[in-house]
Structure 1
């Protein structure tokens, strides 16, 4: 832990840049340690990429839709002297999701191990033994990568050196898809066991095989939905922060991290307001933090040139739409569906390497109204369809001002053909997010959906550190730092933060902090 020092106005104060899940979780942890916390966010409601927009009676969850490790949230609430399950209702999903392949094959993921083995055996009996081995591989990587490395700081290079032999033994140099291919031969099963990195911004053919741990997360903890959407989690987090005596400010954009005496000393907003603090936590994208918020400070490692050389996650095209009178239509379409295009490897290469907007696509389709009727008018449905697309940094970048509507029509055509026949007859509300939206709304460099891509040399020590290497008193939370993207990852950044930031000097006299013990 580093010892803060500051001006009298900043004594005992912490400021958090961004009210995304990582920022709110950090604020909760700091509040539990006695800090007087102010969270500043440029949006009109908390949640960041996990917030929502209401339109025409539909609540559109804008970003993450599932909770895979509820215990991370329960531990967070417990650290604040609260009970998560009293504040948020989680509903287990079964099935987790259904994958629809272009050749007509399907794969349904479920919680029950016997049902999963039966599904694998139905598709390819010869791969059942390999699938069982894959699950053991996944659990081993979970124990090491998630429970060990993912829950402690990795800003000291010596810690990385210590684990290199373990990385080598687990073949962390191998990609997720390559590892799946060593266990199963059927291409449908290889997809089902390797697509998960796309949900944290990674190329399955290049992201380290440590991320096969996601299969264990699903098998061990299940897939859950928060009633009211992830927005309900963000709102509950905000209430904990304010109950601790903290403050969450919406509609205020941080323009710069202030520095005094060689340390972070607070933030300045674009409207001129200043918030002095002993501790500054940035939940803004790491690239935005270093390139914009510290633009007037010399950076040794995360320079503009270094950020430009980094590999960024793909962009996202998301079509949010509502349908009229369809609650009992399409009964085979559940809460989560994955519609796979005719290509896998080549399509992923188009997105991540070539930067090309392909004519074909694969879609993740979210239909929360089958679980949570509150997100749509009575009898209607709320959907979103997400398509991975190139980020804005490729030389042949997509002009979304021109391409957004034609691409939306292509998405609609795929949905009508593959999942939702007759969709056009029932459409009502419509809202589109492109990578340009992510750039402008979330200040995401290159419009990337998940910050820096989690390749092996952009993970752990190689990722921007939770304890900033550029400025004492500055800490990073959220998807762009260790351990990475995804709801468990960004919540986990706050657990690491709590190990790095000491208790506030006045904590012993703070009844709110004491109540959390």
Structure 2
């Protein structure tokens, strides 16, 4: 795929010749690329505009010293969502991307030396639960039934349709009540199992989509069913390979994916979204605009010259945003066989759970302790590192930048990385310090500057019950006709299945492309 850097000539002549309407997608993250594919399948001539140097957004990668660092999501939990997306475009996903099932999914390590290995096999999981706490096996099995029930309602029903009408929310409120959606994920786990380690193992998943397990609605226990039913997979070449395959589909449909092109404003004509203005001043007209940028950035920046009724600047500031992320990407020399017990995914748990989560989400304090998510893709994919070497990605949840006692990451980043290194050496990777050859650090400031994420949040708005479904920014904009939203900040939410799902919902809202007309003629843009 050809990658471009700004400035880029965008070919509008073929839009006129094709006889199809034009759609612009802002952002080549997975939600934006999936939306472009869906719109291309509906006959739209799509141009995707993205400020980075390669497609994927938070799912892109950086290569350094022979190591490929996958920057964001590391796993695929609902592969049929991607297969359905490709099928809607008349393609086969498995012809373009190779998925490898993970076994085990991950291993959790506690300070007392105990561990929990998560697998898809039912018998293996029951044995793991029984090994830690024999009296909790029955409660664990009840938890799985609860998870499946919420999957069918929350994922297969609500997650596959738009929730932009208040009446749709009112209709499902009794079901929310029956499923105790007011109860948190951790509270629900605590009603089923007694061992605090199992309560952690069954409740930490909301952190993967930016949620506080002690406050996020228990509907999100459905993730446990996703893992059990569909497994956990790794895409060979990383999520970057999925993004590049998506971009190729868009181009094969006759669309464009333009890198190095930053959108500065969504333009309005005759009361509708009518195109965009780029940071270099170019104006690109369109019949439909889809924003894969964070809704906070979309409404507060890209629509800054348009009056807003619901998503005003004060309301966006009052919203609860997901936590920030401190991520250390590093390569190691000659370690492929050094740590044989360390698999593809490990979770190294710190001494505190509830209080640490409170520091991250509520007080905004950078705690002295941490819990770590460790990704070792070289355990599965040799292409990520030179022969015999390893590539790692280690993530620690931290407060976002919006707290009153904001963290100075220019000062704190290196001490925090050193604490992370010390914990890894003591708990998982002995002798690590002398083996590190490449190093790259992302802080919440990086997320703010690279991804234009409000407050440097890792996953847009936190998925609490009053920031989900109808309460979340809608897939069809409440502010401007002709504008649609995709990605983690809209319905159904964050995570690879969620952002792919936003495009499925969006496709039910955007009409088929109109018959031929001269859409490349400049429009009377109100913002000019």
TM-score by length of 1: 0.96
SS of residue in 2 equivalent to 1:215:
helix
Q: Deviations over 1:261-303 (max 9, x none)?
A: 0000011100011111110000000000000000000000000
C-alpha distance in 2, partners of 1:130/1:506?
58
Match of residue 453 from structure 1 = 462
Question: Is 1:482–2:491 an aligned residue pair?
Answer: yes
SS of residue in 2 equivalent to 1:16:
strand
Match of residue 257 from structure 2 = 248
C-alpha distance in 2, partners of 1:281/1:16?
5
C-alpha distance in 1, partners of 2:273/2:114?
55
Q: Could you tell me whether the CA contact under 8 Å between 1:96 and 1:336 is conserved in 2?
A: yes
Question: Is 1:176–2:147 an aligned residue pair?
Answer: no
C-alpha distance in 1, partners of 2:313/2:428?
44
Q: Deviations over 1:317-370 (max 9, x none)?
A: 000000000000110000000000000000000000000000000000000001
Cα displacement (A) at 1:133: 0.1
C-alpha distance in 2, partners of 1:172/1:115?
30
Match of residue 414 from structure 2 = 405
Q: Could you tell me whether the CA contact under 8 Å between 1:34 and 1:506 is conserved in 2?
A: no
C-alpha distance in 1, partners of 2:311/2:16?
31
Cα displacement (A) at 1:506: 3.5
Q: Could you tell me whether the CA contact under 8 Å between 1:11 and 1:277 is conserved in 2?
A: no
**Which of 367, 386, 391 in structure 2 is aligned with 1:377?**
386
C-alpha distance in 2, partners of 1:369/1:237?
24
C-alpha distance in 1, partners of 2:250/2:147?
35
SS of residue in 1 equivalent to 2:104:
coil
Question: Is 1:199–2:216 an aligned residue pair?
Answer: no
Question: Is 1:135–2:144 an aligned residue pair?
Answer: yes
SS of residue in 2 equivalent to 1:193:
helix
Question: Is 1:321–2:321 an aligned residue pair?
Answer: no
Cα displacement (A) at 1:8: 8.8
**Which of 430, 434, 437 in structure 2 is aligned with 1:425?**
434
1:79-478 equivalences under 5 Å are 79-478=88-487
Runs of 4+ in 1 over 4 A off after TM superposition: 7-11
C-alpha distance in 2, partners of 1:491/1:298?
30
Q: Could you tell me whether the CA contact under 8 Å between 1:11 and 1:278 is conserved in 2?
A: no
Unmatched 5+ residue regions in structure 1?
Answer: 1-6, 508-517
Q: Could you tell me whether the CA contact under 8 Å between 2:20 and 2:45 is conserved in 1?
A: no
Q: Could you tell me whether the CA contact under 8 Å between 1:254 and 1:269 is conserved in 2?
A: yes
SS of residue in 1 equivalent to 2:223:
helix
Match of residue 523 from structure 2 = none
Count of residue pairs the alignment pairs up? 501
Q: Could you tell me whether the CA contact under 8 Å between 2:20 and 2:44 is conserved in 1?
A: no
Q: Could you tell me whether the CA contact under 8 Å between 1:339 and 1:364 is conserved in 2?
A: yes
C-alpha distance in 2, partners of 1:378/1:200?
33
SS of residue in 1 equivalent to 2:289:
strand
C-alpha distance in 1, partners of 2:116/2:363?
29
Cα displacement (A) at 1:11: 6.6
Q: Deviations over 1:21-52 (max 9, x none)?
A: 00000000000000000000000000000000
Q: Could you tell me whether the CA contact under 8 Å between 1:98 and 1:106 is conserved in 2?
A: yes
Q: Deviations over 1:477-502 (max 9, x none)?
A: 00000000000000000000110011
C-alpha distance in 2, partners of 1:379/1:215?
34
C-alpha distance in 2, partners of 1:101/1:215?
20
Q: Could you tell me whether the CA contact under 8 Å between 2:20 and 2:43 is conserved in 1?
A: no
C-alpha distance in 2, partners of 1:490/1:399?
31
Q: Deviations over 1:134-176 (max 9, x none)?
A: 0000000000000000000000000000000000000000000
SS of residue in 2 equivalent to 1:133:
helix
SS of residue in 1 equivalent to 2:274:
strand
Cα displacement (A) at 1:406: 0.6
Cα displacement (A) at 1:13: 0.2
C-alpha distance in 1, partners of 2:276/2:16?
16
Identify which range, 365-374 or 271-280, moves more after superposition. 271-280
User: Cα RMSD over matched residues?
Assistant: 1.2
Q: Deviations over 1:194-231 (max 9, x none)?
A: 00000000000000000000000000000000000000
Match of residue 4 from structure 1 = none
Q: Could you tell me whether the CA contact under 8 Å between 1:200 and 1:485 is conserved in 2?
A: yes
SS of residue in 2 equivalent to 1:469:
coil
